[in-house]
């Protein structure tokens, strides 16, 4: 069984060898944490894979300092309850 300490040791070693790959691994770990938080609060529907993509979009936007511009405000409101990022409604702000 792999524990979080093993994963973090692998990430640390990867950072030393390949920064780009390490950043992808960090995003995947953060995505897993956000998804777990949303699942535990009942905010994530496991039958709706689009929400998984939305979490990745939110985390990537946060990482580069971007604002998500979307029509799908409700999903991003739920995601924002688990992770801080910026979004706005494309219709309302048009």
Dihedral, CA of residue 49, residue 5, residue 24 and residue 32, to nearest 10 = 20
Residue 15: the pLDDT is 74
List, for residues 5-50, the tens digit of each pLDDT value. 887 787 777 777 777 777 777 788 888 889 889 988 888 887 877 8
The conformation of residue 50, written as its DSSP 8-state character, comes to H
Q: Select the more confidently predicted residue: 86 or 23.
A: 86
> What residues does each domain of the chain span?
4-89
Residue 23: the pLDDT is 77
């Amino acid at each position: 069984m792999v524990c979080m300490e093993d994963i973090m040791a692998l990430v640390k070693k990867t950072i030393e060898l390949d920064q780009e790959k390490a950043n992808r691994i960090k995003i995947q770990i953060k995505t897993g944490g956000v998804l777990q938080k949303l699942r535990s609060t009942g905010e994530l529907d496991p039958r709706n894979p689009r929400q998984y993509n939305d979490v990745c979009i939110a985390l990537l936007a946060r990482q580069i300092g971007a604002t998500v511009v979307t029509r799908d405000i409700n999903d991003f409101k739920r995601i924002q309850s688990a992770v801080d990022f910026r979004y706005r409604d494309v219709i309302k702000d048009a």
